[in-house]
C-alpha cells in the first residue's frame, strides 16, 4: 500500500535532518512512498522553495502549508497522510512563567501539540510519531530502568503533557493505529546552551562559567537522530501497533552512558579546541538566575525556566541507556557521531549553536 510521510517542522533541525536522511539513504522509494514537508512559511518564500528543492529526479518532496496557530491548515495539510512526524514546536516562550508570581505566561507548547494531534486524527492519519525529549530516564533500586513520567526539567514538562495526551487518546476509541513517542537525545550541537549560553564558535570571552548544577549527558548528533527517526517513519505497518488500551510505544534515541559527558567535561573539550581556558563554577539556582539576568542581560522568564535543567542533570535524568539508536543506525551502516568531533567542528569551524532555545 502506498505510504505518505509528512514531517511537521521539516525546515528545522530535527525535521530537516529526518527529511535529509529519508532522501540520502533511499528510505522512501518513489514508487511506494510520497514525502510531504510541512511548513508555516508561505508559498513562494525562500524556505518553501528550499524544501521543494530537497527532492531530485527520482523523489519529489511535496510542500504544504501548516501552522500550529491554524488547526484548519494542519488538517488540510494532513489529508492523505499515512505517517505523521510531529516535531515539537520550538516556541519555548509558550512554557515560560512570570518570575514574580510563577503564573504561566503562555498556554504551554503542549497546546500546539494537541492541535496537531487532533488535526491528524480528523485527517485519518494511521501512524503518529511525536518527537519528545531525552529527559526523565531513571534507574530503580531493583535495577529496572527506563523513561518516567516526571522530570525536574522545565523543558521536559510540555513533552510529558503531550505524551499523557497521546495515552489519553489511545485509551479511548483509537484515533491512530500506531502512536510512537520518541524521546530524542539531547543534541550534541546544543552544548552552548548547557554551558551557560556559551558562544558556539568558542569566541566567548569568559574563562569561567557559572552553572546551577552538573551531571552526565548522553549527547547525540542531530544528523544521527534524523537517520534513526527516518527509519522509524518507514518501518513496516504494524511495527509500533499499540499493545493495549492507553498504550503508546515510547523509547529513547540516544547515545549511551559509556560516552556520556558532564558539562565540566564539555568545558574542557571547548577549552582544548579553542586554546583558552573554560572552567565551570557550580552555584545555587538563585545565583545562576541572578548572574544571567543581571550580569549577562538575559530575560528572566527564559533563564528561570532553563535553570531547572541542571537539577535534572544532577539527578541523572540524561544518563540514558537504550540501544535503539545504535540498532537503527547499524541498519544503514552508520555509527553514532562522537561528541568531541561535534565540539571541535563547531569551535574550529565557526560554530552552529547559538546558546538559545530547546535542545530538541
3-state secondary structure 246-299: CCCEEEEECCCHHHCECHHHHHHHHHHHHCCCCEEEECCHHHHHHHHHHHCCCC
Nearest of 191, 195, 233, 228 to residue 211 by alpha carbon: 195
3-state SS, residue 5: strand
Kindly state the percentage of the chain with pLDDT values over 90.
Answer: 82
User: Residue 131: what pLDDT?
Assistant: 99
Q: How many residues does the chain have?
A: 360
Q: Is 62 exposed, middle or buried (0-12, 13-18, 19+ CB in 10 A)?
A: middle
Pairwise CA distance, residues 30 & 57, whole Å:
10
The stretches in the chain having pLDDT less than 50 are: 354-357, 360
User: Residue 245: what pLDDT?
Assistant: 62
Instruction: Report the relative pairing of strands 137-139 and 145-147 from DSSP bridges.
Output: antiparallel
Number of alpha carbons in the 13 Å side-chain half-sphere of residue 43: 4
Pairwise CA distance, residues 339 & 261, whole Å:
9
3-state SS, residue 229: helix
User: Residue 110: what pLDDT?
Assistant: 97
Report angle CA 201, 202, 207 to the nearest 5 degrees.
160
DSSP states along 289-335? HHIIIIIT---HHHHHHHHTHHHHHHTTTT-----HHHHHHHHTT--
User: Residue 356: what pLDDT?
Assistant: 47
- pLDDT digit string (tens) for 39-62? 999 999 999 999 999 887 678 899
User: Residue 142: what pLDDT?
Assistant: 74
Report which DSSP code applies to 161.
Answer: H
- pLDDT digit string (tens) for 159-205? 999 999 999 998 887 789 999 999 999 999 999 999 999 999 999 99
DSSP states along 40-101? SSPTTSHHHHHHHTT--SS--EEEEE-BTTBHHHHHHHTTT-SEEEEEPP--GGGG-B-TTT
Q: What is the sign of the dihedral through the CA atoms of 292, 94, 156 and 47?
A: negative
Q: Is 243 exposed, middle or buried (0-12, 13-18, 19+ CB in 10 A)?
A: exposed
Average pLDDT of the chain to the nearest whole number: 93
Number of alpha carbons in the 13 Å side-chain half-sphere of residue 101: 4
State how far Cα 32 lies from the chain centre. 28
Instruction: Report the relative pairing of strands 33-39 and 61-65 from DSSP bridges.
Output: parallel
Maximum CA extent, the chain: 59
Report which DSSP code applies to 18.
Answer: H
User: Residue 174: what pLDDT?
Assistant: 77
3-state SS, residue 225: helix
| Residue partners of 347: CB distance under 8 A and separation at least 6 | 200, 201, 202, 270, 273, 274
Report which DSSP code applies to 190.
Answer: G
pTM of this prediction exceeds 0.85: yes
Amino acid at each position: 500500500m502506498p505510504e505518505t510521510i509528512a514531517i511537521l517542522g521539516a525546515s528545522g533541525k530535527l525535521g530537516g535532518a529526518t527529511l535529509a536522511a529519508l532522501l540520502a539513504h533511499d528510505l522512501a522509494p518513489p514508487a511506494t512512498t510520497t514525502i510531504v514537508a510541512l511548513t508555516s512559511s508561505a508559498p513562494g518564500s525562500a524556505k518553501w522553495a528550499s524544501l521543494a528543492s530537497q527532492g531530485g529526479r527520482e523523489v519529489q518532496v511535496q510542500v504544504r502549508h501548516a501552522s500550529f496557530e491554524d488547526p484548519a491548515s494542519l488538517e488540510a495539510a494532513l489529508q492523505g497522510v499515512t505517517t505523521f512526524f510531529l516535531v515539537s514546536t520550538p516556541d519555548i516562550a509558550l512554557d515560560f512563567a512570570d518570575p514574580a508570581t510563577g503564573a504561566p505566561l503562555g498556554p504551554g507548547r503542549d497546546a500546539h501539540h494537541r492541535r496537531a494531534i487532533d488535526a491528524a486524527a480528523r485527517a485519518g492519519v494511521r501512524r503518529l510519531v511525536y518527537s519528545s525529549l531525552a529527559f526523565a530516564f531513571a534507574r530503580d533500586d531493583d535495577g529496572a530502568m527506563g523513561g518516567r513520567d516526571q522530570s525536574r526539567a522545565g523543558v521536559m514538562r510540555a513533552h510529558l503533557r503531550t505524551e499523557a495526551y497521546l495515552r489519553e487518546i489511545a485509551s479511548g476509541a483509537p484515533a491512530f493505529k500506531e502512536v510512537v513517542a520518541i524521546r530524542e537525545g539531547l543534541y550534541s550541537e546544543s552544548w552552548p546552551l548547557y554551558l551557560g549560553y556559551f558562544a558556539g564558535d568558542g569566541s566567548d570571552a569568559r574563562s569561567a562559567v557559572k552553572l546551577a548544577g552538573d551531571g552526565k549527558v548522553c549527547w547525540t548528533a542531530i544528523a544521527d537522530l534524523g537517520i534513526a527517526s527516518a527509519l522509524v517513519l518507514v518501518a513496516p505497518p504494524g511495527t509500533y501497533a499499540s499493545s493495549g488500551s492507553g498504550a503508546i510505544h515510547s523509547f529513547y534515541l540516544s547515545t549511551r552512558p559509556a560516552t556520556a559527558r558532564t558539562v565540566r567535561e564539555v568545558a574542557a573539550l571547548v577549552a582544548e579546541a579553542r586554546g583558552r581556558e573554560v572552567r565551570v563554577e557550580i552555584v545555587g539556582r538563585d545565583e545562576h538566575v541572578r548572574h544571567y539576568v543581571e550580569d549577562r542581560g538575559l530575560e528572566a522568564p527564559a533563564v528561570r525556566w532553563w535553570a531547572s535543567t541542571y537539577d535534572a542533570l544532577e539527578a541523572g535524568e540524561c544518563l540514558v541507556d537504550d540501544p535503539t539508536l545504535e540498532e537503527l543506525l547499524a541498519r544503514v551502516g552508520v555509527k553514532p557521531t562522537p561528541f568531541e568531533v561535534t565540539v571541535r567542528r563547531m569551535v574550529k569551524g565557526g560554530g552552529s549553536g547559538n546558546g538559545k532555545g530547546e535542545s530538541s
